[in-house]
A = this chain, B = another copy of it.
Amino acid sequence: MKYLISELANKCNVNKETIRYYEKVGLLRPPTRTDSGYRMFSEDSVKRIKFIKRMQDLGFTLAEISKLLGIVDKDNQRCEDMYNFVVNKVEEVQLKIRDLKRIEQMLINLKEKCPNEKFMYECPIIETLVVGNDT
């Protein structure tokens, strides 16, 4: 299946300007073009854009995502120093998982108490992350 830019944009829930922007900053490789210069995208681009978007939601910057995609593209420029990058990221991700679990519990408790204003106001919020080390 081949896509024009706005078909791809639609499929991925982004807008076409975003796709051109991703191409410009190197997150997408230049797609093939029709004779009249229209971009033609493949199925792979769909997966790639969805990956970029999800990674972004998970807290990765476009620069970091680009680095990871360097592996997909077998680009040894972007793969330089990959090991250290990955080691640091693993740690970051693990700490995020740990803290998000605390937030999850805090929010579940809060949700339960919400219907009653007094109880709600007594929910611990700031304390959630102060625990210091792990659980």
Residue positions of A touching B, CB distance < 8 A:
47-48, 50-51, 54-55, 57-59, 68-69, 71-72, 74, 76, 79, 82-83, 86-87, 89-90, 93-94, 96-97, 99-101, 103-104, 107-108, 110-111, 114-115, 117, 120-121, 123, 125-126, 128-130
Given A86-B107, A120-B82, A68-B125 contact (CB < 8 Å)? yes
Copies of this chain per assembly: 2
- A115 CB to nearest B CB, Å: 7
Residue of B nearest to A48 (CB): B126
User: Bound complex: CA of A111 vs CA of B71, how far in Å?
Assistant: 12
27 contacts between A and B (CB under 8 A): A47-B126, A47-B130, A48-B126, A50-B129, A50-B130, A51-B128, A54-B99, A54-B129, A55-B129, A58-B96, A58-B100, A71-B110, A71-B121, A71-B125, A72-B125, A72-B126, A79-B120, A82-B110, A82-B120, A83-B114, A86-B107, A86-B110, A86-B111, A93-B103, A93-B104, A94-B104, A97-B97
